[in-house]
Amino acid sequence: MEQSDILAQLPRLALPWYAENRRELPWRADREAYHIWLSEIMLQQTRVETVKGYYARFLEALPTVEALAACDDDALHKLWEGLGYYSRVRNLKKAAQVIMEQYGGAFPKRYDQVLALPGIGAYTAGAICSIAFGLPTPAVDGNVLRLVSRLLDDPAPIDLPATKARVTEALAAVYPREAGDFTQALMELGATVCGPNRKPECGSCPCRECCLGFQHGTAEALPVKVPKKEKRQEERTVFLFRCGDQYALERRPDKGLLAGLWQFPNVAGQLDTRQALAQAERWGLRPREIQREVFRKHIFTHIQWNMKGIYLEVAEPAGPFQWFTEEQINTQAALPTAFRLFWEES
């Protein structure tokens, strides 16, 4: 069977399966473009179970594109706190502002218009346009690429742009009238039956009759990926300065990693006790007592931070910092996970 013939079988096989087996997820309750967009951005690099709570809280606070466009940055970051990859939420706001300015608050309905919005790539544009507007625009992510690579017994690395482009084009040619359900059926198969980091459940897959990976016994070995580069290691010392019921925070730079978010004061390298006290004094603080030290690590896309957290009581809330109470940190200041690791230990 030719590859095009195999993919042409997918609507017949996947749509009935999806109707029977789809998970009930909050963003599937309607076809509202704003809801689909928000869920797809949140689901990038994040588990479904984690996203459910964030999705509900976000929509409760910002129920419309207009509310998102007008939201204060600190409040926006606080809603996103813990999801990571904060450029996603900054681009959400930028795109919402474009929608307000260029489209009068109505979500654009053409694929090229959606693709042009900040932070929206081909996958997200395909998901929005197919699910919300019924357009034959594939949404090809890792789940769909895994599914197709097994169906076709295709050893091409799925993380190469050329592979993704080829699969997108091939799927577009077989899209049925039920475009939104078909997009979600492929996503669902790739996330569950043909899921990541485990053996595929070929016995319960509706596509096994035409799956070359199943027939050839190669499904478990697929997909192929380009070997990842080793992450760069960075050592950091993080200071949790406390004076009474206040803690020192500072803004990160407006550009770069974790741009514009709050952080505990920190420096490169892992300082010993003498060096840590000297650094506190350089910041204009009068250290009283080091209460404890905690070691943690946090992994970003290309970097791993190996961090030493120093909990240090100081005489007064001084230095080039802003001082927050525990309640203010918990309700107002968005702390990236790398720093929240230490806050949760305090």
Q: Would you please indicate which residues are annotated as catalytic (active-site) residues?
A: 40
For CA atoms 307, 313, 315, 317, give the dihedral sign.
positive
CB environment 118-151: b (16+ within 10 A), e (fewer):
ebbebbbbbbbbbbbbbbbbbbbbbbbbbbbbbb
Rounded to whole angstroms, the Cα distance separating 177 from 174 reads: 10
Distances (CA, A) of 191 to 5, 35, 53: 23, 20, 19
For residue 155, which amino acid is it? P
- What is the DSSP pairing of strand 232-243 with strand 303-314? parallel
Torsions phi, psi of 27, nearest 5?
Answer: -80, 0
